[in-house]
Amino acid sequence: MRTRSVVVNAAAVLLSSPRFADEPFRNDAGEISPLAFVDRPGEIAVGRAATQDCSWGRTMGVSMFAGSALIALGVFAATAAGAADSGRGESKPNLTLCRRLAAEARRLPPDDWRDSHTALRPSLVIDEPKSELSADAARLAQLPAVKDAIAPEGWTTFSERLPGTDVHMFETIQGTLHCQTHAFVEQRPGTEPRIVDTPKGWDGEGEGLCWTRSGDVGRVFQQPAAIASGALTDRTDDEDISITPWTGVGWGDTCKVKLRFKKVFLKTGQFCGDARVCLAGGKIAVDVAEAYERHRAKDPHDPPFRFGPAQTAEGMAAVLRAKAHFKSPTDTAEFPIFGAGPDQGHPYYSYVDIQLFPVILGGKTYVGSVGHQGLGWRESKITLVALFAEKDGALTPLAGYVVELRNRGLARIDVED
């Protein structure tokens, strides 16, 4: 599957104190982060950078229908004839594909799920479409029906063949959401090309094959199938896998496997301007990230994000003064890195629902900011937490923390036939 990699900073940084100068930084998982050393007080050295993958579009697959006995009896003849005209079969072959896949998923150990559904290989194999078209695909891509279906002139066309069949999938990816448009053509030897309907939900009304979700072709337990997969949002690994088998004459019925993961937040890096504040804030950074996720799950019209005990009038006033400096809904606080080199990455806040809040550390009030790492409206599974001193609305950065959301195996798996 083609992926788009967004480099996001998960840097590990030592406190700005001389006694840490020769010690590596260990994150909350006990991992030693390379390059994480502080050379001088007040300077920050950055550790590793993580890569957040965001996947997008392709198309579907197939499941060879083996109902010869029924056909011989004439029971299936009318259905097959209708399917040849519509491009989508009315039979219900292999509805146990999702249940078989779910049963296999339940047997896998937690560590196998670090890369989500790739744990299910080879039972679930998704083929990656190619921009270099075969001779047959290049010829079929010029059919007016295909060109009209997938995009106007100028867009790159990707293609993949449905395994073991004469069906070709064509796809283009458009817009900043990387939304996919698909077309399918079957051409058996000695016959004219036949346009095949897209699988159920692939026309933009169901799956919404954009950004983290993609449509592909592949095999499920060696059966050709259309497979829609990918995280439900860019802030989670939770995923629905929709499987539509090929009947030999059209698409069968769709089933769905819903993967929901156990989640854990880990502080994987910190940037320090004030060693005392940074040490105190580091103890609550994960708690802030967890509270922020609960806040995001609520109704957007609920009260603004708050953390910790009841807030003082002083703290609320500081937050209001700081907010007054933001002139646009897309303005954000700058995440502090205190001179970390550009070659080590630079985490930025997405402007989606970034929150300012008062926080008390050691009896003193500070302004905190929390939001997801990202660019513009794009977000990731990384939460950025920062602490500032406030004076007359101006914010002076004191500390920044990188908190990653990771999965720890399946929490639940459901099947929808």
Tens digits of residue pLDDT in 173-202: 887 778 888 999 999 999 999 999 999 888
* pLDDT in the model for residue 267: 96
pTM recorded for the entire structure? 0.71
Here the tokens at position 333 are 């606080």
Question: Cα-flanking dihedrals φ and ψ of residue 38, to 5°?
Answer: -100, 125
3-state secondary structure of 19: helix
294 near 288, Cβ under 8 Å?
A: no
In this structure, are strands 364-375 and 179-186 parallel, antiparallel, or unpaired? unpaired
In this structure, are strands 223-229 and 214-220 parallel, antiparallel, or unpaired? antiparallel
Here the tokens at position 106 are 């339940």
* pLDDT in the model for residue 39: 27
* pLDDT in the model for residue 351: 86
* pLDDT in the model for residue 176: 77
Here the tokens at position 53 are 């993958």
* pLDDT in the model for residue 68: 37
C-alpha count within 13 angstroms, C-beta hemisphere, residue 42: 0
- pLDDT tens digits along 331-358: 888 899 987 755 545 688 988 888 999 9
Residue 385's beta-bridge partner residues?
370, 401
Here the tokens at position 153 are 């002139």
* pLDDT in the model for residue 155: 77
Instruction: Taking the CA atoms of 127, 128, 129 and 134 in sequence, report the sign of the dihedral they define.
Output: negative
Report the C-alpha gap between 138 and 128 in whole angstroms.
Answer: 17
Regions of the chain short of the pLDDT cut 70: 1-95, 151-154, 204-207, 300-301, 341-346
| Domain segments of the chain as ranges | 9-52+264-408, 56-253
Cis peptide before 122 (omega within 30 of 0): yes
Q: Is 78 exposed, middle or buried (0-12, 13-18, 19+ CB in 10 A)?
A: exposed
3-state secondary structure of 148: helix
